[in-house]
Amino acid sequence: MHLLQSVGSSSVVVVSAGIVGDLYVPEERGRALGFIFGTQLAGSISGTFTGGYITESLSWRWTFWIITIISGILFLLTAFVLPETHRIIVARKRRINLRGLPLDLYRQPLSQLRLAHFNPLAIAPALRFKYVWIPTLVIVLIDAGFFSLNAVLTTVLTDQYHYSSSRVGLCYLAQTFGNIAGSIMNGYVTDCTYQRAIRHREKSVAHQLAIERTPGHSSPHNAPLGRASFDGYTALVPDGFAPYEARLLFTVISLVMFPLALITWAWCAQYTISVATLLAMQFLVGFSWSAGYGGLSIYLIDIFTTRSSSITSLANLFGNLYAALWAGVIQQ
């Protein structure tokens, strides 16, 4: 049952990332994904809090009944209300040009569904590019630390602080607030840094054009946007025209903060420091993890705009597998 639940919930994560990648331009994509990731993380963590109260007040069976009812309603809304947003499909179906796609793409006929389209590892060849495997590796490492904390949190609060299940659930709220704050703040900051890089680039180009118009002056033209192809798809390579790496400033700061907050939390748990300090460290862990994860995810989606769900699922696949294995080792 847990396996089936995970399959359903994980699909929501990657599809929502794909929808945001389709609907929002890069200048606004960070804020949208920040809200999406924030609500998803808030739901996953606060589920522990509400589940504890439901189990104590009613029974453990009611947790599954409530999940079934809510999931059924959301499934119907998704199936009958949410329209198709995939940029390639919309361009071909509506026969229009969309930003970031080849001009003649809409003239190509819609491709028929084949078994190869359901290959979950079709995006895997992208790992040979350093701007894919490095963010993926970082996501793997921070996922291991974050979910390991979740695995031992209940045990620490129960054995060392003697908390009941309902009080343990309340302690997860600190992490939840940290996740929400980190995701939303990261979205705003990454959009601001991206827009600033765009404005700086436009000023530089305008200045260069003014120099080139000077009589007797000649200079080489700017290099075209770099591209790398695999499996019939093309990914944009950051090179100054599309300054996607400008988003990573706040991400790097968050990734430095994450291990420091995690080690401090472990030290507080080891020596049974006050719960207030422990919860403060939980907030910082949740904040830095969600900001780092969100920043790297936005970066990958910027590069693979037409395959944003696939690239998100690739990073999550390795991150969640390693996190599950590491959490299992810790609990032994």
Assessment of whether the complete model's pTM goes beyond 0.85: no
Q: Do residues 322 and 144 make contact, with C-beta atoms less than 8 angstroms apart?
A: yes
- Strand residues in the chain grouped as ranges (E): 226-230, 233-237
Residues of the chain with pLDDT under 70: 1-11, 44-49, 52, 85-120, 204-242, 322-324, 326-332
Determine the Cα–Cα distance for residues 54 and 44; give it in Å rounded to an integer. 15
**76-94: per-residue pLDDT in tens?**
887 788 777 666 666 666 6
Determine the Cα–Cα distance for residues 8 and 57; give it in Å rounded to an integer. 27
Residues facing 227 on adjacent strands: 236
Alpha-carbon distance values, 117 to 16, 152, 157, 235, 240 (Å):
19, 39, 46, 18, 33
Q: What are phi and psi of 191, to 5 degrees?
A: -65, -40
Query: Is 160 a member of any domain?
Result: yes
**137-184: per-residue pLDDT in tens?**
999 899 888 888 888 888 888 888 888 777 877 788 888 889 889 999
Query: Is 223 a member of any domain?
Result: no
**If we measure between CA atoms, which residue out of 270, 312, 308 comes closest to residue 22?**
308
Determine the Cα–Cα distance for residues 328 and 164; give it in Å rounded to an integer. 23
Torsion of CA 251, 257, 263, 269, to 10 degrees: -100
Q: Spell out the SS3 assignment of 32-47.
A: HHHHHHHHHHHHHHHH
Number of domains in the chain: 1
Domain around 95? 2-107+126-218+235-331
